[in-house]
Structure 1
Amino acid sequence: MSKMKRNIIVSIMVIAMVIGRSSASSLVTFIFGDSLTEVGNNNYLQLSLAKSNFPHYGIDFDGGKATGRFTNGRTIGDIISAKLRIPSPPPYLSLSPTDDAILKGVNYASGGAGILNETGLYFIERLSFDDQIKNFEKTKESIKAKIGDEAANKLCNEAVYFIGIGSNDYVNNFLQPFLADGQQYAHDEFVELMISTLGEQLARLYEVGARKMVFHGLGPLGCIPSQRAKSRRGQCLTQVNLWVQQFNSKVQKLIENLNAHLPSSHLTFADTYQAVLDLIDNPTKYGFKVSNTSCCVVDTKLGGLCLPNSKLCSNRSDYVFWDAFHPSDAANAVLAERFFSTVFSQSPSPAPLPSH
């Protein structure tokens, strides 16, 4: 067994033990990422063009109204929280520094966010990964003010950090021909820039107190509807998927290196690429009928989001994708289950599937 695999297995065991020991009242989770896990931060950014606070988003969420989630129902983060038997952490920008909710966990994710600060620039406002880490630093100071330095350090050391970011660095940066990075860098150079930046960012989280971090690898971005639309026959873009696999491989090596050099760190890479690809290639195996286009009829030339005047499919649970970028609630339920089976040897019972 390679040293890398041993480190990942040890990290998985430690995080699983933390979850196994924790009750619903004690487990704290902090979530970082992009629109795949956002729960409403961008609603508080007045100028942001990366928002989903309009119908038909949220149609299958509690209350049937849009919340800022980029899907028709729950995000993977919501479902993971349910599986951990804890409330889904609220958006950071919805909380005041004195809010007791910060002691239970916070969601910093922001639609359009990337590892690189220039990613998603045309959305005007969004919280990059650097911004999210700065906000976590502010949260740590607020926690210290509430319960003291020693207790705050203990809380942050024992919390579990879920991080899923990097998709926008491709979809809303490198793959956009009118943006500088796609013209300035060859892919080998671009991925090295992302990895070096990500390494610095994870080290910063460690310095603030993060020890148990789970980094969610990228899925087959070449197969999402917005990328298929670039193919004459609506097929997956092989080159994009190869680039994503290269990124994932380098992140795994980065995590091995960080675990070796950061004392008491337990970083885990959740590689769900093949699981997501299998869901797309074999949708009927998971109870879906359509995986090559979205339930909401979108215009990929105008952003690919589900606009209020868009037409919806007749059965939302038949579709893997909700819009041109994001999985449906039903697909998120499947992916969350696969995520847990990948990361944890003994996961809590699955969250109930949505009723449509």
Structure 2
Amino acid sequence: MRRQFLAAGLALFSSIMAVALAHPIQSSNMIQISHQINRLYVFGDSLSDVGNVYHASGKIYPPNPPYFQGRYSNGLVWVEYLSSKLALTPEQNANFAYGGATTGNGSVNGIPGLLAQVQAFTKVHQEVNPNALYVLWAGANDYLYGGANPTLTASNISKAMESLSKMGAKKILVVNLPDLGKVPATRTSANSTTLSSFAIAHNQTLVKSVEELKQELGSDTQIEILDVYSLYQEATKYPSRFGLTNVTNACSNNLAICDNPEKYLFWDGIHPTTVAHRVIAEAAFKVIKTEFSFSATTPQALRGHL
């Protein structure tokens, strides 16, 4: 999520890489949903970036090691775990998330914002896949960089969702923000309280924006919010529920790496460990199973959009 400085000549989307996934995990629920969701499109920042900044920077940033193959973590990130649970192949994934992205329609240090990512996507697609899941997670950098306000940030996210819906997207999962004042990098800083209040205001405004957008678009478009704010709060209050023992410190601190990263919530000062990413994916999959409705579309009907 932090500001990244890239070499000149960053090509925004010409070399987006397919997501590298673990072998799909099979279950009856996963198979049923995979028959309905046949692609995954991801837009956002470093929490969902699977190597776009890494490849654009000539495999310089984030450094590997200690970061894992272009992820801002020590392993796979949540959208990769989610894709696996949906039984999707690498070819059924498209990830446009860039570490350092804001929600805007421009770029910061060559990094395209959320709206810019979506706009670039819709420009090259006359219509989008109605059987795909569209994931959006951004906003933290707007506040971490300073000068943002929840109304504008939530509005940018709403515009991105509306653009996708108008192009034919039917299932959209948008993620809210964790407590930005309680991550290791900000916990003891002078603006910790301010960042916490921004996160709360952002999430409240996002809920309102989503409800308004649902009314505007009608029941044909499903939009659901993944509440990671509450998930982080629960993990912080009851770490043993998630197999964690340290939910306040970063496992990776400069060149020093902790001995048991699987017990940590945070990999560095801002980003979660791959264990935490797996927990987020579990929560996302639960939302998909319980909140999204699925029609009786046959696998044959889906193949035209693979």
**Cα distance in structure 2, aligned partners of 1:295 and 1:203:** 38
- 1:136 pairs, out of 109, 118, 121, with 121
Aligned-residue RMSD, C-alpha = 2.8
Structure 1 residue 48, shift from structure 2 partner: 10
Aligned partner of residue 228 in structure 1, secondary structure: coil
**Cα distance in structure 2, aligned partners of 1:128 and 1:48:** 21
Deviations 1:56-77 (A, max 9, x none): 111xxxxxxx2x1100001010
Deviations 1:62-119 (A, max 9, x none): xxxx2x110000101011111111135xxxxxxxxxxxx4xx2310100001112567
Change over 3 Å in CA distance of 1:278–1:21 after alignment to 2? closer
Counterpart contact for 1:45–1:125, Cα < 8 Å:
no
**Cα distance in structure 2, aligned partners of 1:130 and 1:243:** 20
Counterpart contact for 2:143–2:198, Cα < 8 Å:
no
- 2:234 pairs, out of 260, 273, 278, with 278
Identity of aligned residues (%): 26
Change over 3 Å in CA distance of 1:238–1:53 after alignment to 2? same
Change over 3 Å in CA distance of 1:313–1:323 after alignment to 2? same
**Cα distance in structure 1, aligned partners of 2:243 and 2:206:** 32
Residues 191-200 or 220-229, more deviating: 191-200
Deviations 1:109-162 (A, max 9, x none): 00001112567x3xx221211221133124525xxxxxxxxxxx4x61221101
Q: Which residue of 1 aligns with 2:168?
A: 209
Are 2:257 and 1:312 equivalent residues in the alignment? yes
Q: Which residue of 1 aligns with 2:23?
A: none
**Cα distance in structure 2, aligned partners of 1:227 and 1:108:** 27
**Larger helix proportion of the pair:** 1
Counterpart contact for 1:36–1:70, Cα < 8 Å:
yes
Aligned partner of residue 111 in structure 2, secondary structure: coil
TM-score by length of 1: 0.67
Structure 1 residue 46, shift from structure 2 partner: 4.2
- 1:22 pairs, out of 34, 38, 41, with 34
Structure 1 residue 342, shift from structure 2 partner: 4.1
Q: Kindly report which structure 2 residues correspond to 1:1-356, keeping only aligned pairs within 5 A, or say none.
A: 20-23=32-35, 27-46=38-57, 51-58=61-68, 66=69, 68-88=70-90, 101=91, 104-117=92-105, 121=108, 124-141=109-126, 153=127, 156-171=129-144, 173-174=145-146, 181=147, 190-230=149-189, 237-263=192-218, 264-298=220-254, 310-345=255-290
Counterpart contact for 1:116–1:197, Cα < 8 Å:
yes
Structure 1 residue 311, shift from structure 2 partner: 1.3
Counterpart contact for 1:216–1:271, Cα < 8 Å:
yes
Structure 1 residue 238, shift from structure 2 partner: 4.0
Counterpart contact for 1:48–1:125, Cα < 8 Å:
no
Change over 3 Å in CA distance of 1:129–1:254 after alignment to 2? same
What amino acid sits opposite 1:107 in the alignment?
Answer: N
Change over 3 Å in CA distance of 1:241–1:256 after alignment to 2? same
Structure 1 runs (4+) deviating above 6 angstroms are none
Aligned partner of residue 279 in structure 1, secondary structure: helix
Name the count of aligned residue pairs.
Answer: 263
**Cα distance in structure 2, aligned partners of 1:85 and 1:22:** 6
Structure 1 unaligned regions, length at least 5: 1-16, 59-65, 89-100, 142-152, 175-180, 183-189, 299-309, 348-356
Aligned partner of residue 88 in structure 2, secondary structure: coil
**Cα distance in structure 1, aligned partners of 2:201 and 2:105:** 21
What amino acid sits opposite 1:199 in the alignment?
Answer: S
Structure 1 residue 19, shift from structure 2 partner: 7.8
**Cα distance in structure 1, aligned partners of 2:82 and 2:186:** 27
Counterpart contact for 1:272–1:342, Cα < 8 Å:
no
**Larger strand proportion of the pair:** 2
Aligned partner of residue 156 in structure 1, secondary structure: coil
Aligned partner of residue 29 in structure 1, secondary structure: strand
TM-score by length of 2: 0.77
Deviations 1:216-274 (A, max 9, x none): 1111111111111416xxxx934422321221111111111111111422111122311
What amino acid sits opposite 1:134 in the alignment?
Answer: Q
What amino acid sits opposite 1:39 in the alignment?
Answer: V
Aligned partner of residue 113 in structure 1, secondary structure: coil
Counterpart contact for 2:251–2:257, Cα < 8 Å:
yes
What amino acid sits opposite 2:143 in the alignment?
Answer: Y
**Cα distance in structure 2, aligned partners of 1:44 and 1:218:** 26
**Cα distance in structure 2, aligned partners of 1:78 and 1:275:** 19
Structure 2 unaligned regions, length at least 5: 1-28, 293-306
Change over 3 Å in CA distance of 1:83–1:256 after alignment to 2? same
